[in-house]
């Protein structure tokens, strides 16, 4: 049930048709997570060998079950904050391991800081040992609550380090600082993706792991109340997973992107209320919207400036919100959630 639609993988392959990954060996930390498992799928489709490392804290073995046993795919259950000695010669290291749901920030702040700091340091050390390219999965959270929207990479950020979300936002900033240090000190070819809100099949809807889109879909399909926080006036810009993965892999492999920091996301901004209403309409649900208090520190607006990705990577999102939501709803409808 959790393997993703075949045509989605073909679409990613199409987006990466000018990129040669055949025979390359890639370490993906967090490879059993929502995004990480899609990255593993895309790499395998492109003929790469994949070493997938995950401690299964928020990722799930079932996300990669269809890859287990395939030639060129290896899974190691391991916490990347602890030393790791891969026995394959690596060409590329993609560090994606971290819990990412705001509800988890409350429960696991120390673990999150460790994954983004110590985990990044260990993953960088592995890349350095093999002379591999490094891609760090950073986040739009490094901007905090930005005063400049759409937000370009040059915006330095607006963050109070004592707030709830700071375990994530500040540790992603620290991870970026480690990447910059390895670039300067050791000449490592290291790149940073600032990932904006992404959704699609395999995203968790349950409890503290659920983000707005999968929660709303699951609530709508079950006829439960759709839980809008605040008045729903805050905005996000939702990127369908195939676009995100294509952007990440173009950034990891494009010759002109060495050492660059690039926003990857969709630049169509929408309020959370409009998102909830759209999901209600697309599911044909009778659910009611129910309003709950806005969590502390919830950014008011979020939308990337993706001019740099367009110029540098020849990339922009191809899947509109309604199309992406329809695909995601179809997957949730078929999945046992």
User: Rule CB under 6 A: which residues touch ligand UDP?
Assistant: 102, 197, 211-212, 215, 227-229, 234, 236, 272, 295, 298
CB of 199 to ligand UDP, least distance (A): 8
Nearer to ligand UDP (CB atom), residue 186 or residue 292: 292
Task: Locate 141 and state its tokens.
Answer: 């959270």
Residue 177: what are its φ and ψ, rounded to 5°?
A: -65, -40
Spatial separation of the C-alpha atoms in residues 89 and 77, rounded to whole Å: 19
Residues in the chain: 337
Is 168 in the active site? yes
Q: Which of these is catalytic: 15, 168, 178, 209?
A: 168
CB 202 within 8 A of CB 2: yes
Contacting residues for 304 by C-beta, under 8 A, at least 6 apart = 140, 150, 151, 194, 196, 237, 263, 264, 265, 266, 267
Q: Name the strand (E) or helix (H) holding 132.
A: none
Task: Locate 303 and state its tokens.
Answer: 């939308």
Q: Name the strand (E) or helix (H) holding 198.
A: strand 198-199
CB of 333 to ligand UDP, least distance (A): 19
Q: How far is CA 105 from CA 109, 161, 172, 261, in A?
A: 5, 13, 13, 24
CB of 274 to ligand UDP, least distance (A): 11
CB 238 within 8 A of CB 270: yes
Estimate the crossing angle of helix 241-253 against helix 34-45, to 10 degrees.
60
User: For 131, how many CA atoms within 13 A lie in the half-sphere containing its CB?
Assistant: 0
Task: Locate 45 and state its tokens.
Answer: 């489709």
**Catalytic residue numbers, as ranges:** 168
């Amino acid at each position: 049930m959790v393997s993703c639609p075949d045509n989605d993988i073909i679409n990613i392959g199409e987006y990466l048709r000018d990129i040669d990954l055949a025979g390359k060996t890639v370490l993906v930390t967090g490879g059993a997570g929502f995004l990480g498992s899609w990255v593993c799928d895309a790499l395998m489709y492109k003929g790469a060998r994949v070493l997938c490392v995950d401690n299964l804290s928020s990722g799930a073995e079932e996300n990669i079950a269809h890859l287990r046993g395939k030639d060129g795919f290896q899974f190691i259950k391991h916490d990347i904050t602890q030393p790791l000695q891969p026995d394959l010669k690596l060409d590329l290291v993609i560090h994606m391991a971290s819990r990412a749901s705001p509800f988890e920030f409350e429960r696991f702040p120390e673990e999150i800081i460790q994954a983004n700091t110590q985990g990044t340091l260990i993953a960088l050390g592995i890349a350095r040992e093999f002379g591999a390219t490094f891609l760090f999965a950073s986040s739009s959270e490094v901007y905090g609550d930005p005063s400049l929207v759409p937000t370009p990479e040059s915006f330095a950020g607006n963050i109070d380090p004592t707030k709830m979300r700071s375990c994530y936002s500040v540790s992603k900033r620290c991870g970026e600082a480690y990447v910059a240090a390895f670039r300067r000190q050791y000449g490592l070819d290291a790149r940073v993706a600032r990932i904006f809100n992404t959704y699609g099949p395999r995203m968790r809807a349950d409890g503290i792991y659920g983000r707005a889109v999968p929660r709303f879909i699951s609530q709508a399909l079950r006829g439960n109340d759709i839980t809008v926080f605040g008045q729903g006036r805050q905005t996000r810009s939702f990127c369908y997973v195939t676009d995100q993965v294509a952007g990440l892999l173009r950034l990891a492999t494009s010759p002109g992107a060495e050492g660059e920091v690039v926003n990857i996301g969709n630049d169509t901004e929408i309020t959370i209320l409009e998102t909830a209403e759209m999901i209600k309409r697309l599911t044909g649900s009778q659910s009611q919207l129910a309003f709950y208090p806005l969590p502390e520190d919830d950014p008011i607006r979020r939308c990337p400036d993706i001019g740099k990705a367009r110029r540098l990577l020849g990339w922009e999102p191809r899947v509109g919100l309604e199309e992406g939501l329809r695909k995601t709803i179809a997957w949730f409808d078929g999945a046992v959630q």
